[in-house]
């Protein structure tokens, strides 16, 4: 059964692409025929090495272009993407093929919706974010750096600018969202995979009532290194993009309040501003995956202060796997992996005083050691490894395929009965 994996990027530029690529590699290693379609290259070289047929359109991540015209043409309706997907589907028997969509909003566009709707191949959709429900993909109000509770495409939504680049782009997002909702993207999905309970709760009111949901956590690339020799050593560390929605400034402010040094592993649009405002903080830039794991292993705690509904932050889980407790915002799905007061601490989202209090609590060495051991033990008691992820993913595929065959047989029987009656 060939699996056609559909994503915006063919290389790892974040958690979404990482899951799509790592699962494709894992499926190929299990003997599956995997085809990987993406708009933006270059392709991860491991895909070709694993025998994965890779189709890369050589296009641009539209969020990185400054041209509104160019941004609009590809972002609203990427005809090349639709044609490429259509060609792939024509080459494969829909009765023996599954399409697995991981991402479309940064490059592929809603144009793939009609192609998916027209195909008889069952479509599995992993929700890494919220673009099927919210025009800006995150139920997040960028100008005020807070979660948005307006109903998508309601009058309140239309009248309010939630976009980080201005109201013109907000209107384009709304237009694209309407295109997406009315041209097949969510029609007849065979399975929708959510990666956290919070994500399903946020999405389900905006999806068809007959949506078939599956819970499937993202895989974590980690090895059981054993409990940390001293869980009380190290600094408080932030890993990721330095931006408002990630809460980078909140961490810096809370660290100063708590009398601690903020350590940033990552980069982003707020870096220069934060470096000027918080000269006592350390800004280490991006690290490769091994470097990130090393930084997490050496930290006293990971601070994850995101102020939007992140689906399932991989960094939180990677930190726990390293035996490092996590201080996490209570608004994001990362909280679901952290036992408050056991393997880490929750704090009130957007509240620097609450975050500072949590950091102060973990300054106690005995508390830090106990939470470090609990973080490690709890993660490895039920580890989210790639093999376990693939076992469950193949279970979804089997269920989807069986229901597709049953549906085809039922439709055939219906047509036979209709023919006999005439």
Are 288 and 405 contained in the same domain? no
> pLDDT for 258-269, tens place per residue?
999 999 999 999
Are 66 and 25 contained in the same domain? yes
Whether residue 173 is contained in a domain is answered as no
The pTM (predicted TM-score) of the whole model is: 0.89
Q: In terms of Cα–Cα distance, which of 176, 37, 30, 187 is closest to 99?
A: 37
pLDDT (0 to 100) of residue 75: 86
Whether residue 178 is contained in a domain is answered as no
Q: Does the pLDDT at position 419 exceed 70?
A: no
Are 354 and 414 contained in the same domain? no
Whether residue 329 is contained in a domain is answered as yes
Whether residue 143 is contained in a domain is answered as no
Whether residue 153 is contained in a domain is answered as no
Are 299 and 318 contained in the same domain? yes
pLDDT (0 to 100) of residue 411: 47
> pLDDT for 124-141, tens place per residue?
999 999 999 999 999 999
> pLDDT for 376-412, tens place per residue?
999 999 999 999 999 999 999 999 999 987 665 454 5
Whether residue 168 is contained in a domain is answered as no
Are 75 and 193 contained in the same domain? yes
CATH of residue 83? 3.40.50.2000
Are 119 and 248 contained in the same domain? no
Q: Does the pLDDT at position 272 exceed 50?
A: yes
More confident residue, 410 or 58: 58
Rounded to an integer, the average pLDDT of 370-377 is 98
Are 326 and 261 contained in the same domain? yes
Q: Does the pLDDT at position 69 exceed 90?
A: no
Structure tokens at 118: 């027209």
Q: Which residue has the tokens 């191949």?
A: 121
pLDDT-derived band at 418 (thresholds 50, 70, 90) equals: low
Q: Are 12 and 51 in contact (CB under 8 A)?
A: no
At residue 108, φ and ψ (nearest 5 deg) are -75, -40
Q: Are 125 and 133 in contact (CB under 8 A)?
A: no
pLDDT-derived band at 421 (thresholds 50, 70, 90) equals: low
pLDDT-derived band at 63 (thresholds 50, 70, 90) equals: confident
Are 127 and 250 contained in the same domain? no
User: What DSSP string runs through 309-369?
Assistant: --S--HHHHHHHHTT--EEEETTSGGGGGS-BTTTEEEE-TT-HHHHHHHHHHHTSHHHHH
In sequence order, the 6+-apart residues with CB closer than 8 A to the CB of 50 are 24, 25, 28, 29, 34
Are 91 and 212 contained in the same domain? yes
- Give the count of domains, the chain: 2
Are 338 and 397 contained in the same domain? no
Q: Domain limits at 25?
A: 3-132+185-219+387-421
């Amino acid at each position: 059964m060939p699996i056609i994996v559909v994503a915006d990027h063919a290389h790892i530029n974040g958690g979404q692409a990482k899951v799509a690529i790592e699962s494709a590699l894992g499926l190929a290693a299990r003997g599956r025929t995997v085809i990987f379609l993406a708009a933006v290259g270059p392709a991860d070289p491991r895909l070709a090495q694993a025998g994965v047929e890779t189709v890369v359109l050589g296009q641009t991540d539209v969020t990185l272009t400054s041209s509104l015209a160019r941004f609009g043409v590809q972002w609203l309706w990427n005809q090349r993407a639709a044609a490429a997907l259509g060609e792939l589907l024509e080459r494969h028997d829909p009765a023996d093929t599954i399409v697995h969509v991981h991402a479309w909003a940064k490059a592929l566009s809603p144009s793939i919706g009609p192609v998916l709707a027209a195909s008889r191949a069952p479509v599995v959709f992993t929700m890494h974010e919220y673009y099927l429900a919210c025009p800006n993909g995150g139920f997040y109000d960028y100008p005020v750096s807070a979660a948005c509770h307006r109903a998508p495409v309601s009058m309140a939504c239309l009248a309010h600018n939630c976009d980080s680049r201005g109201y013109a782009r907000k209107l384009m997002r709304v237009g694209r969202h309407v295109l997406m909702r009315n041209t097949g993207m969510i029609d007849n999905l065979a399975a929708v995979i959510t990666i956290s309970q919070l994500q399903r709760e946020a999405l389900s009111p905006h999806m068809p009532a007959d949506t078939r949901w599956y819970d499937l956590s993202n895989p974590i690339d980690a090895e059981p290194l054993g409990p940390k020799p001293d869980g009380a050593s190290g600094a408080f560390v932030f890993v990721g993009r330095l931006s408002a929605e990630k809460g980078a400034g909140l961490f810096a402010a809370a660290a100063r309040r708590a009398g601690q040094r903020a350590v940033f592993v990552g980069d982003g649009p707020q870096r220069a501003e934060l470096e000027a405002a918080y000269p006592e903080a350390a800004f280490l830039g991006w690290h490769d995956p091994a470097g990130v794991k090393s930084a997490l292993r050496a930290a006293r705690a990971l601070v994850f202060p995101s102020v939007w509904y992140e689906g399932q932050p991989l960094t939180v889980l990677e930190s726990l796997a390293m035996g490092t407790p996590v201080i996490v915002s209570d608004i994001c799905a990362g909280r679901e992996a952290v036992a408050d007061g056991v393997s880490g601490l929750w704090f009130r989202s957007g509240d620097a005083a609450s975050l500072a209090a949590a950091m102060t609590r973990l300054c106690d060495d005995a508390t830090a050691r106990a939470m470090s051991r609990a973080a490690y033990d709890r993660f490895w008691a039920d580890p989210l490894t790639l093999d376990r992820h693939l076992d469950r993913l193949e279970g979804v595929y089997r269920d989807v395929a069986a229901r597709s065959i049953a549906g085809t047989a039922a439709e055939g029987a219906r047509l036979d009965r209709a023919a006999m009656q005439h």
